[in-house]
Amino acid sequence: MALNGFMEFFQKGQTFRPKKKFSPGTLRHSLHKQAQASLSSGINLRAVVKLPPGEELNDWIAVHVVDFFNRINLIYGTVAEYCTETSCPAMSGGPKFEYLWADGNKYKKPTPLPAPQYVSLLMDWIEAQINNETLFPVSTDVPFPKTFQALCRKILTRLFRVFVHVYIHHFDRIVEIGAEPHVNTCYKHFYYFVREFDLVGTRELEPLVEMTSRICRDPSPAPENPHSAPSQ
């Protein structure tokens, strides 16, 4: 079955870029395992993204940014051979949305690029950010920079654009290999997380708003979350 093929692909960990991993025995590795266990248990994804009691928000965000980078790499990897400069001459999400690339370095001004080039530059850029220990500290003894959450907003906003492109331009391939349930679960997890912590603006989410209203139907968790209440 196609689904078996996709699951084999997923379990082998093949990605469009090498996977970033947390060192065993570190706090972020244990948080990463906690997030993974919650996902596989099939419980309400709206509840899964909540900050665990007693944990630091920046640690929780760091773990998820790396996890989403790995997962979206994998998702794009399943359609990459169909996403060419000929088939996708622009990084778009349908006729209304086109994304321009700027990195403040080689591309100082927003520049239109073919989708595969945009995604390749994006993944290189994200990889450089998350491997930079001054931006994403490995040790909990090293504080996160003040710009950390702003950087994560930029990373997650740009990763969302990969979801937009894959869903709108390559969904037939996702269905063909039986990956639709997995991609939808990844998307829901991503969507609930960025909304929970206001990490991607509503305007950016607009291209997939109809699909989101269809697939993101998990009921809101009960309001008794002591960690989310104001500290006394």
- pLDDT digits over 76-118, tens only? 998 999 999 999 999 998 888 999 999 888 999 999 999 999 9
d(CA 203, CA 75): 23
Asked whether the predicted pLDDT for residue 149 surpasses 80, the reply is: yes
**Radius of gyration, CA atoms only, the chain:** 18
Helix, strand, or coil here: 225? coil
Q: What is the pLDDT of residue 164?
A: 95
Domains parsed from the chain with CATH numbers = 64-216 (1.20.140.30)
Q: Cβ contacts of residue 150 below 8 Å, gap of 6+?
A: none
Confidence of residue 222 (pLDDT cuts 50, 70, 90): low
Among 167, 182, 128, 120, residue whose Cα is nearest residue 151: 128
Q: Are 137 and 56 in contact (CB under 8 A)?
A: no
Q: What is the pLDDT of residue 224?
A: 44
Asked whether the predicted pLDDT for residue 189 surpasses 60, the reply is: yes
Confidence of residue 197 (pLDDT cuts 50, 70, 90): very high
d(CA 198, CA 196): 6
Confidence of residue 219 (pLDDT cuts 50, 70, 90): low
d(CA 36, CA 43): 12
pLDDT in tens, 95-106: 889 999 998 889
Q: Are 144 and 53 in contact (CB under 8 A)?
A: no
Q: What is the pLDDT of residue 205?
A: 94
* Encoded tokens for 70: 């790995």
Question: Which has more confidence, 196 or 39?
Answer: 196
Helix, strand, or coil here: 201? coil
Q: Are 47 and 221 in contact (CB under 8 A)?
A: yes
- Residue 91, phi-psi category: left (phi > 0), alpha (psi -120 to 50), beta (remainder): beta
- Does 186 belong to an annotated binding site? no
- Does 169 belong to an annotated binding site? no
* Encoded tokens for 107: 């591309």
Confidence of residue 21 (pLDDT cuts 50, 70, 90): low
Q: What is the pLDDT of residue 225?
A: 45
- Does 83 belong to an annotated binding site? yes
Please identify which residue in the block is written with the tokens 């979350």: 225
- Does 170 belong to an annotated binding site? yes
